Amino acid sequence: MRKNVINLLARQLWQDAFRSKVMLIASILILFLLIFSAYSGWENYHDQNLTRDEIQDEVQDSWENNPDKHPHRMAHYGSFALRLKHVLSVFDLGMENFVGNAVFLEAHKQNTVNFSEASMSTGLLRFGEVSLAMLLKVIVPLLLFYLGFATIAQERENGTLKLLIGQGVSRKEIVFGKWLGLWGLSLIFLVAIFLVLLFFVFLESHNSMYFDSLFRYLVLLISYLLFFGVLSAITILVSAFSITAKSALIKLLGIWLLFVIIVPKSLQAMGFYLYPTPSKIEMETAVEHDLMQLGDSHNPDDPHFKALQDSVLLSNNVKDVADLPFNYGGFVMSKGEALSAAVYLKHQTKLYNVYEKQNNLERYSAFVNPYSAIKNLSMAFSGTDFQSFLHFKDKAEAYRFNLAQEMNRLQMELIPNKGKAGPDKISNDYWKQFPPFEYHFLSISDVFKNELISLIALLLWSILAVFGLLRLSTNLKAI
């Protein structure tokens, strides 16, 4: 293939596109949406993180400024964990508005993560919000299909395709020249959006997050480069195998509807039908049932914990809990906390497995729908996917468990048993020694592991696109 011929054909496609009023109108519209989505995304990210940081500091100050009291009262006083937004959430909102951002942490109980934007907004939020990623995933592909539907079909209708081949231009040069030109058009919008995003990454990323954010940014950039290469190839192939340009346009519009709307929505409904999830009431009832089976650590006459008391007395060779070398109440609370945490973990693991089965339907659909692959990758590397939310929830639960068990340890070591002389409260200096909640985002390696299927699917689509163009270059019909 001659590079100069390929470049000439690509340049010709650009000239034809920029002569069209559609390109001008679309460019102005996308520029307006880019400015709006960048501003609103940045403002939302900055304001939300600023508010959550302030609240987290207030929570910690409130915790540390508690007066001297019994450790178990502090365990029930509890704390809050707030989920911060990743800087790349400016790019892709993902599930950000539909999952909670604050959870109350207290002893013996795992609370849900609350205060999502969707819970405090109207139903209009379900239609989605304009974001930089939405422009690249929904709007630009539609524009790309419109700009490329006539690339080969119309030239065949006009007879110029036969004329090009007759003048010595090879079919391979025609196919790859058109593809390169169309791909280049999509990169105009891609580069514009990613330059804006790069500014936000440099502006907001701190030393601890800089390389993480930059690496995620590069993965997103490469992923979208491949995605638009695939879409450009699909456009060329459909145009080449269509009898008329009009039929090519209809087919491409159908493909867009199938990729972006019909398949994702259908799979979501199918996932819930095949793998139904219990309601919140059903979940809480099942947890309470299992907790009741274990016994009540606050009830000294509970059979399970009465047997535990007898075994502890026997192992320490004493007859009364007052004679134990540690506070028995703190010991019982620590055992009860471990048991209740195990029950919550069992039920949550079952629930997460159901969610995973539902999500896998769409994840594996990436092998037949490139939009699914780029959507999953876009959310994952922007820190706005479901796995990122679960990671936060797990870290918050680990902090809650450690807080409760630390209070139980302090009770065991510093509070005397009933019947023994001594204080029934400890200094608030101990509250200040317990570290505040700090959340670190999911590691890059874990994100890659979670989205391995989507990565493989996107790479396979890229290979298939090149293979399809090569086959087309040998079978392209001039008439």
Residue 317 is classified by DSSP as T
- The CA distance from 314 to 174, in Å, is 88
- Mean pLDDT, range 172-189, rounded to an integer: 91
Which residue range(s) make up the domain with 151? 3-475
Tell me: pLDDT of 121 over 60. Answer: no
pLDDT for res 424 = 83
Query: Residues 305-355: pLDDT tens digits?
Result: 788 888 888 888 888 888 888 888 889 889 889 989 999 999 999 999 999
| Tokens 């007859």 sit on residue | 319
What's the average model confidence in pLDDT over 413-419?
A: 84
At residue 128, the pLDDT reads 56
Q: Which of 119-123, 196-200, 322-326 has the highest mean pLDDT?
A: 196-200
User: Residue 182 — pLDDT band, cuts 50, 70, 90?
Assistant: very high
Give the mean model confidence (pLDDT) for residues 294-309. Answer: 76
Reading phi first (left if > 0) and then psi (alpha if -120 to 50, else beta), residue 317 is in left
The confidence score (pLDDT) of residue 124 equals 47
What is the domain count for the chain?
A: 1
Decide if pLDDT at 221 tops 90. yes
What is the structure's pLDDT at 122?
52
Residue 422 φ/ψ region, left for φ over 0, alpha for ψ in the -120 to 50 degree band, beta for the rest? left
Sheet-wide strand order for 102-106: 79-82, 102-106, 109-110
451 three-class SS: coil
For residue 205, name the pLDDT band (cuts at 50, 70, 90).
low
At 56-80, the pLDDT tens digits run: 999 999 999 999 999 999 999 999 9
Query: Per-residue pLDDT averaged across 231-235, rounded?
Result: 95
Q: Are 358 and 386 in contact (CB under 8 A)?
A: no
pLDDT, averaged across the chain: 88
* Beta strand segments in 86-244, E: 102-106, 109-110
